[in-house]
Structure 1
Amino acid sequence: MSTTEFTLDDLRRILLDGAGAEEGVDLDGDILDVQFEALGYESLALLETGSRIEREYGITLDEDVFTDADTPRALLAAVNAQLTTGAAAA
C-alpha cells in the first residue's frame, strides 16, 4: 500500500484487527497520549501491531520503536517518520 500518512484511525483499525480491545477501553476516545499499557496492549500485542503496520505500509520499523513509542501519538510519529524517509528514498 502506498501512502504518505499513518493516521490514528489506521492505528485503531490495526490494533482492533490484531489484538482486539479490552472491555471498558474506548479506542474511539482521546487516546493519543494514553500509554498502550493503560489501553490494555502489552508487548506481544504491540509486536503484532508492528508486524501488521510493516506489511500494510511496506516499511521496516526499528526494534526499539515499541519501547520508545509508548503512546499512540509517539507511534504515529515514528511510523510517519519512516514513511517520509521511505518516500524520500524512493
Structure 2
Amino acid sequence: MTAPALTLTDLTRILRESAGEDESVNLDGDILDTPFAELGYDSLALLEAASRIEREVGIRLSEDALGDAETPRLFLNLVNEPITSTT
C-alpha cells in the first residue's frame, strides 16, 4: 500500500509545526511558486520539514534534492515523485 500524495495543505501544516510562520506571510494563499525564502523559511526549516515528512510519510529526501526544491511546488514534486511512480 502506498502513502497518499502530500498536499500543499499538508506541507503548510508541517512547515508551521516545525518552523512556525512569519505573520506577514499568508501560507493559505497561492504560494505554490513562491520561493521559500520569501515565505520566511530557510534551509534549516526545510530540513526539519523533510525530517517530519520522513516520519509521517516514509519518504527520505536527500539534502542535495532539498536544495533544488526552492518553492512549495518543487518540494511537493520531490516528495510525491516516489509515491506517484509506484502507482
1:25 corresponds in structure 2 to: 25
Q: How many residues end up aligned between the 2 structures? A: 86
**What is the TM-score when the length of structure 1 is the normalising length?**
0.87
- RMSD (CA atoms): 1.4
**What is the TM-score when the length of structure 2 is the normalising length?**
0.90
Conserved? CA contact 2:46–2:66, under 8 Å:
yes
CA distance in 2, matches of 1:64, 1:39: 21
- Unaligned segments of structure 2, at least 5 residues: none
- Unaligned segments of structure 1, at least 5 residues: none
2:54 corresponds in structure 1 to: 54
In the TM superposition, residue 70 of structure 1 has moved relative to its aligned partner by 0.2
The letter of the residue matching 2:22 is E
Name the structure with the higher helix share.
2
Query: 1:1-90, aligned counterparts within 5 Å?
Result: 3-85=3-85, 87=86
